[in-house]
Amino acid sequence: MKKLFLITFAFIFLVYVKAEQSELRIAKQYGLAYLPFIFLEENKLLEKNAKKAGLGDVKVSWVTLGGGAAANDALLSGSVDIISGGVPPVVILWDKSKGKVKAIASLVSQNIVLLTANPNIKSLKDFTPNDKIALPSVKVSTQALLLQIAAAKEFGIKNYDKFDHLTVALKHPDALIALTSGRSEITAHFGQEPFSSIELKNANIHKVLSADEVLGGGSINLISATEKFYTENPKLARVLIDSLDEANEWINANKKAAAELYVKASNSKEPLDLVYDIINSDSIVYSTKFKNVTVFSDFLYETGAIKSKPTQEELFFDEISKKKELKK
């Protein structure tokens, strides 16, 4: 009887462990915002921590996408389990799925900037129909929403989409080339680090506005998943969050090594010192804690882009919404 009990217990234990999936597919994007994911990938930290958590050998697959729209499509199609990107795409997915897609954690808070190579542009008022603004995804990316919020503040809420017709969807690396070459229709780029700092090294490029000026700071990138994934894989979701906290702790304690990791893993052409200066500055903060995300959802609701207005807690899975907000 004792032997039968032990066999039955072992069988139940194995079934419970196997209930969580054995492969985790994650989508990231371009830029220093995704440094924690790079650390996880290069060190196979998720695989190691999943095994420690009793989940066995979990295969982790990574894919790099060009913008929030592509990430949303990948999650809805079931081709990935986890996506990372700006707050607006997450809010739109939350609304579209009626709360079945939520954020697992914050990825980074950073000050992203709108830059231009047109010497005549000093503020939003100076953009003309001949100007083209590159950003990751039109209408849904963080940059697209920041541009709309800035337009609403400058010209009134009815004119929030005043510059939408000037926007062009481009991956950050391609936008950098287009803006700095001087041979493209692109006259501005609403980018992020390290691309913005590289562009500003060009004497012909200057800043028009920044996220901090528009929002007053807050989480810019989130990590998201479907409710189905989260409820069926609670241990795996916890492993992901704990691994990110571990990655962030390492980055904050080893900024020079973190810069070296980014340059090497990304096959980046950026000078190491420049990447280090960015990581070492106050303009980028790696943390799973979130801050000030409803500024995007409130705006999307006000402009009719979403049908329901979520609270900050409703955008996150229960366990995560209880985390204290990022104070810095």
Q: Where are the domains of the chain?
A: 14-110+218-321, 113-215
pTM: 0.79
What kind and span of H or E run contains 234?
Answer: helix 234-253
CB-based contact 56:233 (threshold 8 Å): no
User: Which pLDDT band, with edges at 50, 70 and 90, does 249 fall under?
Assistant: very high
- Written as one letter, the residue type at 17 is V
CB-based contact 112:38 (threshold 8 Å): no
The order of strands in the sheet holding 167-169 is: 167-169, 133-135, 188-190, 113-116, 206-210
**Residue 248 — left, alpha, or beta (φ > 0 → left; ψ -120 to 50 → alpha)?**
alpha
Give the model's pLDDT for residue 327: 46
Structure-model confidence comparison of residues 192 and 205, the more confident one:
205
pLDDT at 220 exceeding the cut of 60: yes
pLDDT at 7 exceeding the cut of 80: no
The domain covering 113-215 belongs, at the CATH homologous superfamily level, to Periplasmic binding protein-like II (3.40.190.10)
pLDDT at 284 exceeding the cut of 60: yes
Average pLDDT estimate for 22-37? 92
Query: Do 14-110+218-321 and 113-215 show the same overall fold?
Result: yes
Task: Tell me which DSSP letter residue 159 carries.
Answer: G
pLDDT at 56 exceeding the cut of 90: yes
pLDDT at 15 exceeding the cut of 50: no
Give the model's pLDDT for residue 39: 97
Give the model's pLDDT for residue 323: 52
Give the model's pLDDT for residue 291: 76
Mean pLDDT of the chain: 88
User: Which pLDDT band, with edges at 50, 70 and 90, does 326 fall under?
Assistant: very low
Q: What share of the chain is helix, strand, coil (3-state, %, to 5)?
A: 50, 15, 35
Task: Tell me which DSSP letter residue 183 carries.
Answer: -
Q: What is the CA radius of gyration of the chain?
A: 21
Average pLDDT estimate for 13-28? 74
Strand-pair category, 23-28 with 59-64: parallel
Residue 46 tokens read as 């998720």
pLDDT at 1 exceeding the cut of 80: no
Q: Class assignment of domain 14-110+218-321?
A: alpha beta
Distance from first CA to last CA of the chain, Å, rounded? 59
Give the model's pLDDT for residue 2: 52
Average pLDDT estimate for 193-201? 90
User: Which pLDDT band, with edges at 50, 70 and 90, does 219 fall under?
Assistant: confident
